[in-house]
Structure 1
């Protein structure tokens, strides 16, 4: 995006002092819905650095317990945007049912090649489970909702097992996943960060596999997305542009100095202070940085949902990505 473009202009605004609020003619109220996971890190940074306030935005911030709740709120127009970490797969299921409701303006995840952990197969310290092939007759927990249920089914199937008869899949809220593994409620979980880091820090559980999904579906792998409703974009385009610029700025900051911002994870995720040293850095892609490799990876996830029969296809993710022209630039 050229320097005279909206992102550069908004970035300049964001660099103003915190006293910039006084120059706002009005504060625009924007409703955000988010999940307490590592993929949402850029949003935490934006909140802590008061980047929204500096852009004359008053954020109504609502934490959700499952990805489905985020997409339901957006499709139902009870929220304006889903910060980084919103459900990339469920968003496209929603788009297949209600076309034109959402736009994607960022992707978050991890991968083997980029050396960033997005997910892990979590087991007890003494578990014999080393991979998905060892899950026959076992139970596997996952983030609640159709996105991670579908990904889990695909992973089990890719390991040569039948997800309907060989493995019991269990919905587990993020905060309950490590206790469930340690306590024996489930034999393993397919968990998003920071769950794997928390498991390792506990000394009672481990990652049997790091980034298993990237090894099967796409590398890098993006299960998180930054989303906004087209209603918000069309009715308040100037505010939407500011939101995109804020998240891009926060993404750059988080990527550049993750160590500095790790402590704020205690405030927003299940991570405890004594676990921070184990926390893995997420792979965050802002709107201005999205490229064809990112979109090819996202397409691979959408294709999995089509193969698993949870949405109709074909679908081209290029049609669902926010564009500069959408922003009036």
Structure 2
């Protein structure tokens, strides 16, 4: 009789597996800009297999352009962008695309710099000058426009914006092809031999605009609404993995540097300089203060014409972040 029960139990288990199939890991396609600020976080996320440790089947897709992850999201080619440009994310959501911001993930830790021998002394002196920023549509370009117009009355027609990635802009500065540039602190740290003088910072200038201490957000965690609906438990796991990777980076800068050397072939000195800035350039939050800061940012962007329309109440989704707090 006991033997019969064992056979019956085994048959029942096989029957359930035959009907339902093996348990399938939730899949997620994650995209990030491989040559920008997202590089460091993406390298640590991949090296530490943080998504896989949450039981997710993950595919990483890397893009050479800052706005490409958001375009890929809109086309349904990826499910989550770890650091989509905030300005582009605002625009596509305001246009009605079914995407949601679930995290503030990158802080706009940039400085306005000029060559040390430049006659430019203050931000007000930038009127009529050539200013290097990230490509049009990027958060850097939008925040630059907002700062110049709001704080100094310098409208887009009053200066020439020169697009490019940070290394290219640094080269333009060295060749005197541009007068000033908005460069990330990471880039400046990696160019110790360049003779640059700081005339302003995004954090300081943003504080003048918003009258708050919340730093400007450069990148956001962006998710496809359809993917969230199809995988209701997965968004919290994705955010939990992001939070754990962020905490790891804060605690172990040597490991961050190693991940950067492996992923981007950086020199030891450059990798260490990049890793040392981890706490200043990344964040993984969606607290009420972050939501308020993002809404305020949208209002500023709209004031200078960088975005149009309204940001729907549903655009900023906190549920994955809140649920991630219970993931151990």
Task: Please indicate the TM-score interval, normalised by the length of the shorter structure.
Answer: 0.7 to 0.9
Q: CA deviation at 1:214?
A: 3.2
For the Cα contact (< 8 Å) 1:295–1:317, is it kept in 2? Answer: no
Alignment of 1:1-329 (within 5 A): 26=24, 28-35=26-33, 36-38=35-37, 41-83=40-82, 85-109=83-107, 118-147=109-138, 148-199=140-191, 201-211=192-202, 212-218=204-210, 219=213, 220-258=215-253, 260-268=255-263, 272-276=267-271, 278-279=273-274, 280-281=277-278, 282-287=280-285, 290-315=286-311, 319-324=315-320
Name structure 1 gaps, 5 residues minimum.
1-23, 111-117
TM-score (ref. length: structure 1): 0.77
| Distance in 2 between residues matched to 1:271 and 1:209, nearest whole Å | 28
Q: Which runs of 4+ in 1 moved over 4 A?
A: 24-29, 266-272, 316-319, 324-329
For the Cα contact (< 8 Å) 1:119–1:213, is it kept in 2? Answer: no
Q: CA deviation at 1:96?
A: 0.5
TM-score (ref. length: structure 2): 0.77
Compared with structure 1, are the counterparts of its residues 73 and 108 closer, same or farther at alpha carbon in structure 2 (3 Å cutoff)? same
- Please identify, of 266-275 and 230-239, the stretch whose mean Cα deviation from structure 2 is larger: 266-275
Q: How many residues align?
A: 295
- Please identify, of 268-277 and 92-101, the stretch whose mean Cα deviation from structure 2 is larger: 268-277
| Distance in 2 between residues matched to 1:53 and 1:206, nearest whole Å | 44
Larger Rg: 2
Q: CA RMSD in A?
A: 3.0
Q: CA deviation at 1:183?
A: 1.8
For the Cα contact (< 8 Å) 1:108–1:284, is it kept in 2? Answer: yes
Q: CA deviation at 1:65?
A: 3.2
Compared with structure 1, are the counterparts of its residues 258 and 249 closer, same or farther at alpha carbon in structure 2 (3 Å cutoff)? same
For the Cα contact (< 8 Å) 1:122–1:181, is it kept in 2? Answer: no
| Distance in 2 between residues matched to 1:131 and 1:158, nearest whole Å | 15
| Distance in 1 between residues matched to 2:268 and 2:32, nearest whole Å | 21
